[in-house]
Amino acid sequence: MTQKELLRTVQAQLATDLNCAIGDLDGGKDGIVFTRARENPGRRPFPRGERHFEMLSMGKAIVISASPDILAVVQPALAGKTRDEAFSMPFVYGHGLCYLPDLHRMEALPAPADFSYELIEQENIPALYHLEGFKNAIGNDSDHPRPDALAVTAKLDDKTVGMAGCCMDCARMWQVGIDVLPGYRNHGLAAWLVNRLTLEILHRGFIPYYCAAIANIASQRVAHRAGYFPAWVCSYKGNFEGYELQPTC
């Protein structure tokens, strides 16, 4: 897979999620694109409420996908707004920065010494659910609509102290998460675990991606060290308290 093919596949998935065109995401447009949220086949199965709002930008245009009552509020509110102004509106919150692997510089990192490592296949991940402190790496539900797919663990003296895991968000994209227990950080474990898992996902023909909250600088540094680049920014929730919303139909 080339970098261009990887990016195009991701854009196609995001277009399905947001009910927009790929051209709305690939830099061919500017401004704000509004779309009505729909349950398109193949969308990533993130939960949606009756009133839904999300916005996303890959660098130029912003795509806003929302339920009709929310669109009636945000379209006039965002008229003439720049990208930065739009993401700073009071009803926008839950900002996340999402990363994709930079295939031009992605290479295996040297493993931190003194730890032992293990690649855990999907069928063996439920045996890890009892461990505390790894909620970002793996879930705790074998029947989840986005099931855990793979994990890489780091142990010291038979104690699991770090873990990177990924879940099957959709047919092609697997989301990577990382946890390292306090007291075992600053050894390079997080970047190595994410890097090791990323290379394994790519080897199996899937696209790994990594997300971090805008304020989580430590997580963003892990992504960079592991070989990722920032690909899009999104806001996955909205606060419309005090706004007059029409009943949904």
What are the 10-residue block averages of pLDDT along the chain, 249 residues in total? 96 97 84 95 91 92 94 93 92 93 97 97 97 96 93 97 98 98 96 98 98 96 98 89 63
3-class SS string, the chain: CCHHHHHHHHHHHHHHHHCCCHHHCCCCCCCEEEEECCCCCCCCCCCCCCCCEEEEECCCCEEEEECHHHHHHHHHHCCCCCHHHHHCCCCEEEEEEEEEECCCCCCCCCCCCCCEEEEEEHHHHHHHCCCCCCCCCCCCCCCCCCCEEEEEEEEECCEEEEEEEEEECCCCEEEEEEEECCCCCCCCHHHHHHHHHHHHHHHCCCEEEEEEECCCHHHHHHHHHHCEEEEEEEEEEECCCCCCCCCCC
Supply the pLDDT for residue 26.
81
As a whole number of angstroms, the distance between CA 139 and CA 45 comes to: 15
Total domains in the chain come to: 2
93 and 125 share one domain: no
37 and 64 share one domain: yes
151 occurs within a structural domain = yes
- Containing structural domain, residue 27: 3-99+234-238
Q: What is the pTM of this model?
A: 0.93
Supply the pLDDT for residue 148.
97
110 occurs within a structural domain = no
123 and 208 share one domain: yes
Supply the pLDDT for residue 30.
82
Specify the CATH number for the domain of residue 196: 3.40.630.30
* Residues shown for the chain: 249
Supply the pLDDT for residue 249.
45
Query: Contact at 8 Å (CB) between 166 and 145?
Result: no
As a whole number of angstroms, the distance between CA 96 and CA 139 comes to: 20
69 and 166 share one domain: no
